[in-house]
Amino acid sequence: MKLEETKLSSTEIFDGVAIHLYRDEILLPNGNKGVREVIRHPGAVCVIPITEDGDVIFVNQFRYAFNKVTLEIPAGKLNPGENHYECGLRELEEETGCKTDNYRYLGCMYPTPAYCSEIIHMYLATELSKGEQKLDEDEFVDVEKMPLSDAVKEIMNGNITDGKTQTAILKAYIYLNK
């Protein structure tokens, strides 16, 4: 059986600042019609910055949807027309004040493919130089460092719960230890 669904029509339900919600009528593989509600998202980038000492630079950030502070790697939403490579460098500097001379693409992930089109591109940054944070007006973060091996343990113990952070750290750990 062919596992594709074909969009027949699309209606925007909500036009928000960060997300846009659509109700799509679709044709299922068996010929029946169905409905999919989809959040259209411009995409994002996350960067795992690792110091010469092997520490990951994290940001603590309040996440309103969960009403708590989470430990994450620097990340941000793509601006219209922005290249994900450049977005990652921008977010790294804005949130941590760091710049890098060694920046490697680790791939992408689909955080919630059942209902959201967001793609998060992941980068590893080493050979860091420190400058000043350039936070957005509505952005508040605290910077924290942790050895990469401890970060892996914290993921496995359930203490680092952010999906993009988990994925990027585990990929970086495997890449750096092969």
Measured distance CA(4)–CA(29) in Å, rounded: 6
Span 27-34, mean pLDDT? 95
**Is-catalytic flag, 37?**
no
Measured distance CA(166)–CA(50) in Å, rounded: 15
What is the predicted pLDDT for the residue at 178? 87
Burial code of 85-117, b = ≥16 C-beta within 10 A, e = fewer? Answer: eebbbbbbbbbbbbbbeebeebeebeeeeeeeb
State both tokens at 175: 């890449």
Model confidence at 71, in pLDDT bands (50, 70, 90)?
very high
Q: Which residue among the candidates 91, 95, 137, 144 is catalytic per the annotation?
A: 137
For the chain, give the mean pLDDT: 95
pLDDT digits (tens, 9 = 90+) for 136-151: 888 888 999 999 999 9
State both tokens at 100: 């890098």
pTM: predicted TM-score of the whole model, two decimal places:
0.93
